[in-house]
Structure 1
Amino acid sequence: MGEGLVKRLLLLASGVLVGAGLGLLAVFGFGVTGRNTEAKSDLQKTSEAAVLSSAPLAGSVAPDFDARNLAGDVVSLSDYRGKVVLLNFWATWCAPCEVEMPLLQDRYSQYSTEIEVLAVNYAEPEKDVKAFADKYGLSFPVLLDPNGQVNDLYHVRGYP
């Protein structure tokens, strides 16, 4: 894989993470008000530390999972072992996800021989997920996580 592509992928991943961080800040950061701000802050720190201590670590092998795609086939993350895989956790009601998905599709179209994208939808009706995928012309695998097991495995706390 070329150095330029790696830099672009890291930039894309960084952008996704920054967007997720800003989203979490907007949801959780501005919701902390009142006299018990310090106590709430400590509780949030404790919760975040507990989640992060058991979350998958950078550089380690990603936890394997099985999920059904929109064609009805079961897909395992381990099917992609040895490839660069971008896992995207999303929902149809997530406004930033609506902005992000066409960008992911564009990059996937350009670099599909070098990167795989697996879009894991959280607990939504299959018909809604399919309509979203059709609307944005998604050609990468869209996976269904009806009970949130994959999201739990990766400690997903919010979207985007």
Structure 2
Amino acid sequence: MLPWSDEAPPELALGRLDGPAIDLADLRGRPVIVHFFATWCAPCVEELASLDALAERLGTGATILAVDVGEVEARVRNFIRQRPVRFPILLDRDRAAMKRWRVEGLPSSFVLDRDLRPVSLTAEPLDWTSPPVLTALEALVGAEPGAKPDAVKTDDNRGRSTP
């Protein structure tokens, strides 16, 4: 993962595959991972499984939002039916969120602290259950509210520079 030092994340308010719409602004209080993916992306499929294992490990300590980019709902629904996950799937039907977040490739993930301040990003597949990533995320989950977090840095991502 790479440091991500924007002052604030872009807006994110999207419809959910199953359930009410979610607005990132309402999730203040615990760290959030925003993950952009597509069902046709083989590395995305592997990473969703890794994020699901992370969700099980962290429980309610962090929120994971998976954002499907530009696909029809029926395709996403069939995909998730075959590969269920413990976190919400949001639908970026027109790719507007992808553009606002300056996502250049899939998968891409962004980590926010409990005050929704940007911390880290990754622009390639990541093993969310690897020891360095788990250590960094567990430290973020345990950080005091209002504390300025260190960027979650690991050698697991050798992707592009910060947006």
TM-score by length of 1: 0.62
Change (3 A) 1:148 1:124: same
C-alpha deviations, 1:42-97, integer Å up to 9, x for none? xxxxxxxxxxxxxxx52622122210001252110111113200000000010100
Which amino acid is 1:140 matched to?
Answer: F
- 1:20: which partner in 2? none
Please name the residue that 1:152 is paired with.
Answer: 99
Aligned twin of 1:95: 42
The 1-side partners of 2:61 and 2:8 are apart by: 19
Q: Structure 1 residue 112: deviation in Å?
A: 2.3
Matched with 2:12 is 65
**One-letter amino acid of the structure 1 residue matched with residue 34 of structure 2:** L
Structure 2 unaligned residues grouped into runs of 5+: 108-163
For 2:20, the aligned partner's letter is: D
Tell me if 1:123 matches 2:123.
no
Bigger relative contact order (CA 8 A; separation at least 6): 2
Identity %: 33
Q: Partners in 1 of 2:27 and 2:11 — Cα distance?
A: 10
Distance 2:82 2:26 in 1: 27
In the alignment, structure 1 residue 137 sits paired with structure 2 residue 84: yes
Q: Secondary structure in 1 aligned to 2:48?
A: helix
Report the secondary structure of 1:88's partner residue.
Answer: strand
Does 2:23 match 1:76? yes
Secondary structure, in 3 states, of the residue corresponding to 2:9?
Answer: coil
Q: CA deviation at 1:131?
A: 1.5
SS in 2 for 1:112: helix
The amino acid across from 2:55 in the alignment is Y
Distance 1:82 1:60, change over 3 A: farther
Residue identity opposite 1:81 in structure 2: R
Give the structure with the larger strand fraction: 2
* SS of the residue 1:152 aligns to: helix
Query: CA separation in 1, counterparts of 2:32 and 2:62?
Result: 6
TM-score (norm 2): 0.61
